[in-house]
């Protein structure tokens, strides 16, 4: 039993390094992966597809033209010589223009059409359950629904998540449906080409078709979560839309019994200098790795231990697409076996061992202070906006019953606010003093003083109670040379 589990884990590790094999998104609802068991896309429209399918469909599809021979068309290697969009001297399906799914140019024109979408079974992001026929009797998803002329995938997912549903479905580009289950066999799952109508709110995203519904798990793009399965995929908040402003999110990855967790960012787009992603030791809250727009992840990251916290922070400006993060947990014997097998095939390649740290090319190893006696304890975090640990960025979690130096920052904020209020009060008092001092209230007998006061001050009205006594003062504009005030009794 252990030997078979070890071999399976070794194979999973090798697939992880090539970013090809991964278990689907980890939620209460078990997501189904692509039919082949391989995942080659982690974006909703397959813009990141770098696979090798070179025809529009695996069964009876049309062959694709080479990108370095399509100079008569807008996308070719002459116009994009540096591999932009995955173009090159090949004829594999790609999505260089951010369409709803990968496509390619075809040699045979059909009614003037010189390109076609590619039906790629492996290009289905984790969290996307597929495309299902919706006859409406009964509906595919029977929960809440809404019509939205600015619909995006995340708009619908967020709507259903707020309603406490597990699934969100989009149809015809503008209709959103919610539910908790879908009969995939009865509904007749189809290829993604049936669900490639663009979302009305974002023309780069697929939002179903006429009579066809594309279904997503509502945990996609959630701000926080708890993961305990050996492998999974975590998306940035609001994915596949751009992440929102002032986001503070935490995800816990705790796999009891594992000795290390391997992380791979398959997609990373953070454009602001203060937005960042961090990996922290789950027990000590120490930062293991930090990534931002200046220092994006460039290699796999192997963290020893069974408990890691993923932290994301965004400020109020310059939102971007975010990230897609894959993780795979291993026990010590699995890592050793995988490294040994990798060494037999290629001496220079292989996964790093958590027992004898020897990181291979492309793999960075980080260690933490996790002890085996604590590996069975499951800890969870509140994902709403707790405090932040020692490094100075607002919103970081400090751990249960712990305080950090971050409190000092809030103290500084409070003192600054108090200082500002004090200055405002002093200025207001000074202005009030000057205003009262500059206004000489005239008497009935002192006409000269009234005249002088009128010239030097602005109009004002003073009412005294009882109402039998009132004093009015204003400037006269229509009397020549008479600047005396009107005094009423």
Tell me the per-residue pLDDT of 48-82, one tens digit each, with 9 for 90 and over.
999 999 999 988 889 999 999 999 999 999 999 99
Tell me what the mean pLDDT of segment 342-371 comes to.
Answer: 41
Q: What is the largest distance, in Å, between two alpha-carbon atoms of the chain?
A: 113
Tell me the per-residue pLDDT of 410-430, one tens digit each, with 9 for 90 and over.
778 888 888 999 999 888 888
Instruction: Let me know how long the chain is.
Output: 489
- 245: which 2 tokens? 């402003």
What ranges make up the beta strands (E) of 19-96?
A: none
Cα 375 from Cα 397, distance rounded (Å)? 20
Determine the pLDDT at residue 374.
Answer: 37
Structural domains of the chain, with CATH: 39-124 (2.40.20.10), 128-217 (no CATH), 225-330 (2.60.120.290)
The percent of residues in the chain predicted with pLDDT above 70, rounded, is 63
**The pairing of beta strand 470-473 with beta strand 460-463:** antiparallel
Contact indicator for 369, 284 with CB cutoff of 8 Å: yes
Determine the pLDDT at residue 451.
Answer: 44
What ranges make up the beta strands (E) of 202-335?
A: 202-206, 212-217, 225-227, 231-235, 248-254, 260-269, 276-281, 287-291, 300-304, 307-313, 322-330
Distance (Å) of CA 402 to CA 244, 357, 372, 390, 399 = 29, 31, 23, 11, 5
Determine the pLDDT at residue 480.
Answer: 43
Determine the pLDDT at residue 112.
Answer: 78
Cα radius of gyration rounded to whole Å, the chain: 33
Determine the pLDDT at residue 111.
Answer: 73
Helix, strand, coil % in the chain, rounded to nearest 5? 20, 25, 55
Cα 98 from Cα 94, distance rounded (Å)? 10
CB within 8 Å of 116: residues ≥ 6 apart: 56, 62, 103, 104, 106
457, HSE (Cβ side, Cα atoms, 13 Å): 22
Distance (Å) of CA 396 to CA 281, 343, 390, 404 = 13, 40, 9, 10
Helix axes 2-17, 332-345, angle to 10 degrees: 60
Residue 359, judged by CB atoms within 10 A of its CB (0-12, 13-18, 19+), counts as middle
CB within 8 Å of 334: residues ≥ 6 apart: 5, 6, 9, 10, 13
Cα 109 from Cα 119, distance rounded (Å)? 18
- 457: which 2 tokens? 């001050």
Q: Does residue 461 register a pLDDT over 60?
A: no
DSSP state of 131: E
| Band (340; pLDDT cuts 50, 70, 90) | low
Determine the pLDDT at residue 317.
Answer: 85
- Coil, strand or helix at 416: helix
Contact indicator for 280, 311 with CB cutoff of 8 Å: yes
The larger pLDDT score, comparing residue 123 to residue 366, is at: 123
Determine the pLDDT at residue 409.
Answer: 67
Tell me the per-residue pLDDT of 231-266, one tens digit each, with 9 for 90 and over.
999 999 999 999 999 999 999 999 999 999 999 999
The larger pLDDT score, comparing residue 332 to residue 358, is at: 332
Cα 48 from Cα 38, distance rounded (Å)? 15
Distance (Å) of CA 94 to CA 21, 41, 43, 174 = 20, 11, 13, 26
Contact indicator for 217, 235 with CB cutoff of 8 Å: no
- Coil, strand or helix at 86: helix
Cα 442 from Cα 423, distance rounded (Å)? 34
- 73: which 2 tokens? 């068309």
Residue 373 phi/psi, 5° resolution? -70, -15
Tell me the per-residue pLDDT of 91-150, one tens digit each, with 9 for 90 and over.
999 999 999 999 999 998 777 789 999 999 889 899 999 899 888 778 889 899 999 999
- 305: which 2 tokens? 């231990």
Min mean pLDDT across 50-54, 74-78, 153-157, 351-355 is at 351-355
For 176-191, b/e burial (b = at least 16 CB within 10 A) is bbbbeebeeeebebeb
Determine the pLDDT at residue 464.
Answer: 40
Tell me the per-residue pLDDT of 2-50, one tens digit each, with 9 for 90 and over.
444 443 444 444 444 444 333 333 333 333 344 434 678 999 999 999 9
Determine the pLDDT at residue 366.
Answer: 53
Question: How many other CB atoms sit within 10 Å of the CB of residue 301?
Answer: 24
Q: What is the mean pLDDT of the chain?
A: 74
Tell me the per-residue pLDDT of 178-221, one tens digit each, with 9 for 90 and over.
999 876 555 566 777 889 899 999 999 999 999 999 999 999 99
CB within 8 Å of 72: residues ≥ 6 apart: none
């Amino acid at each position: 039993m252990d030997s078979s589990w070890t071999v399976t884990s070794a194979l999973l590790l090798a697939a992880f390094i090539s970013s090809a094999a991964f278990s689907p998104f980890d939620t209460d609802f078990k997501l189904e992966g692509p039919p082949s068991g391989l995942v080659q896309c982690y974006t909703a429209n397959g813009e990141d597809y770098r696979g090798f399918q070179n025809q529009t469909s695996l069964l009876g599809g049309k062959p694709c033209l080479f990108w370095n021979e399509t100079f008569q068309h807008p996308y070719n290697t002459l116009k994009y010589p540096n591999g932009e969009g995955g173009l090159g001297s090949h004829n594999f399906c790609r999505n260089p223009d951010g369409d709803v799914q990968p496509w390619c140019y075809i040699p045979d024109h059909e009614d003037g059409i010189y390109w076609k979408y590619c039906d790629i079974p492996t290009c289905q992001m984790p969290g996307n359950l597929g495309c299902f026929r919706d006859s409406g009797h009964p509906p595919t998803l029977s929960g809440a629904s809404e019509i939205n002329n600015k619909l995006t995938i995340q708009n619908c997912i967020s709507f259903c998540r707020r309603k406490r549903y597990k699934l969100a479905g989009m149809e015809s580009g503008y209709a959103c449906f919610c539910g908790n289950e879908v009969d995939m066999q009865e509904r007749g799952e189809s290829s993604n080409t049936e669900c490639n109508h663009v979302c009305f709110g974002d023309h780069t995203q697929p939002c179903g078709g006429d009579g066809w519904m594309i279904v997503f798990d509502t945990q996609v793009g959630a701000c926080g979560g708890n993961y305990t399965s050996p492998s999974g995929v975590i998306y940035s908040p609001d994915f596949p839309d751009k992440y929102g402003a002032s986001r503070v999110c935490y995800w816990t990855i705790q796999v009891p019994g594992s000795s290390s967790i391997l992380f791979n960012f398959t997609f990373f787009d953070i454009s602001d200098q203060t937005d960042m992603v961090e990996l922290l030791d789950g027990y000590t809250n120490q930062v293991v790795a930090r990534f931002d727009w200046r220092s994006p992840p460039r290699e796999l990251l192997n963290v020893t231990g069974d408990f890691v916290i993923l932290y994301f922070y965004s400020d109020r400006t310059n939102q971007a697409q975010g990230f897609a993060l894959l993780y795979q947990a291993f026990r010590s014997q699995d890592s050793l076996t995988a490294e040994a097998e990798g060494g037999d095939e290629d001496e220079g390649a292989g996964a790093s061992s958590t027992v004898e740290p020897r990181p291979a090319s492309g793999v960075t190893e980080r260690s933490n202070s996790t002890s085996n006696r604590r590996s069975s304890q499951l800890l969870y975090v509140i994902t709403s906006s707790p405090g932040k640990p020692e490094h100075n960025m607002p919103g970081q979690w400090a751990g249960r019953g712990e305080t950090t130096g971050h409190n000092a920052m809030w103290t500084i904020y409070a003192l600054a606010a108090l200082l500002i209020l004090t200055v405002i009060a002093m200025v207001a008092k000074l202005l009030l003093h000057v205003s009262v001092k500059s206004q000489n209230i005239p008497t009935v007998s002192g006409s000269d003083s009234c005249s002088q006061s009128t010239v030097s001050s602005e109009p004002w009205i003073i009412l005294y109670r009882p109402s039998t006594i009132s004093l009015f003062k204003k400037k006269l504009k229509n009397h020549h040379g008479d600047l005396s005030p009107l005094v009423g009794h």
